[in-house]
């Protein structure tokens, strides 16, 4: 699959990302992506989801499945992940964020396919921001959502909170085509803290990418 990016959206997304007077920068970037292409990826992951390893349940994360090995990701999804990890897309991220000298992460450390099942959640948290293998700081999180249909009553919105974890800054439903980019640092608290109320067998699916510098 050839990935299509709507580059005409970049100036507006840059303006959104760089809004002043926020504790860290973020933007909804769903306009970059083709919903038709993401729908193909979503259907492929539905067929593959039984093969995705489940992470260990801990206090902050329940019923989370992740595949970060590129060679084990199914072929159409692999094309999308490879593109999001390419220099061409890194250049797009640099244009939106104004952050230069970003790099690809060939290891997909923590990234790739994420899926969370009924009752699962991801408590508000900050991510590790040092990549020891690359000796670089992780600077950006990109989350691309793959869920259609999606019922608001299922919950599962991704939420961004301030450094005090007292004020929610932003929320976004995980519907097909929605996407979010935000800075990775010690105050960029995020998650979907409410347990999912999806029917059994329906997963909250996304592609997660982390970009170091």
Question: Which token pair is 170?
Answer: 């932003």
Q: How many domains does the chain have?
A: 1
15-19, 33-37, 126-130, 146-150, range with the lowest pLDDT: 126-130
Question: Which token pair is 3?
Answer: 């990935």
pLDDT at 131: 81
Sign of the torsion formed by the C-alpha atoms of 3, 6, 11 and 15? negative
Residue 174 within any structural domain of the chain: yes
Sequence-ordered list of residues with C-beta below 8 angstroms from that of 208, at least 6 positions apart, any chain: 110, 111, 112, 114, 141, 142, 143, 144
- The per-residue pLDDT for range 183-204, each reduced to its tens digit, is 999 999 999 999 999 999 999 9
Q: Where are the alpha helices (DSSP H) in the chain?
A: 10-17, 35-48, 75-84, 87-97
Instruction: Identify whether the C-beta of residue 112 lies closer than 8 Å to the C-beta of residue 66.
Output: yes
Residue 181 within any structural domain of the chain: yes
Residue 206 within any structural domain of the chain: yes
Residue 173 within any structural domain of the chain: yes
Residue 187 within any structural domain of the chain: yes
Residue 2 within any structural domain of the chain: no
Domain that holds residue 50: 7-17+26-212
- The per-residue pLDDT for range 74-93, each reduced to its tens digit, is 999 999 999 999 999 999 99
Question: Mean pLDDT score of the chain, rounded to an integer?
Answer: 95
pLDDT at 20: 86
Tell me the CATH number at 91. 2.60.120.620
The SS3 call for residue 71 is: helix
Task: Tell me: pLDDT of 205 over 80.
Answer: yes
Confidence of residue 132 (pLDDT cuts 50, 70, 90): confident
Dist. CA 179–CA 80, nearest whole Å: 14
Residue 1 within any structural domain of the chain: no
The pTM assigned to this predicted structure is 0.97
Task: Tell me: pLDDT of 59 over 80.
Answer: no
pLDDT at 129: 85
In the block, residue with structure tokens 């508000």:
124
pLDDT at 172: 98
pLDDT at 91: 97
Dist. CA 156–CA 199, nearest whole Å: 13
């Amino acid at each position: 699959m050839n990935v299509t990016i709507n580059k005409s959206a970049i100036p507006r997304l840059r303006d959104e990302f760089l809004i002043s007077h926020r504790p860290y920068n973020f933007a909804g970037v769903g306009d970059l992506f083709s919903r038709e292409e993401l729908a193909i990826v979503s259907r492929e992951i539905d067929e593959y989801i039984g093969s995705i390893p489940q992470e260990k349940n801990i206090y902050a994360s329940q019923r989370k499945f992740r595949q970060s090995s590129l060679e084990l990701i199914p072929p159409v999804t692999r094309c999308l992940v490879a593109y999001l990890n390419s220099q061409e897309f890194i250049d797009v991220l640099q244009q939106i964020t104004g952050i230069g000298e970003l790099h690809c992460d060939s290891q997909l450390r923590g990234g790739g396919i994420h899926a969370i099942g009924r009752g699962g959640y991801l408590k508000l948290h900050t991510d590790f921001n040092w990549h020891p293998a690359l000796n670089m700081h992780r600077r950006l999180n990109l989350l691309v959502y793959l869920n259609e249909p999606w019922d608001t009553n299922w919950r599962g919105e991704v939420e961004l909170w301030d450094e005090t974890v007292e004020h929610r800054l932003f929320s976004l439903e995980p519907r097909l085509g929605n996407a979010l980019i935000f800075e990775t640092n010690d105050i960029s608290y995020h998650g979907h803290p409410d347990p999912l109320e999806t029917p059994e067998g329906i997963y909250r699916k996304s592609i997660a990418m982390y970009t170091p510098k």
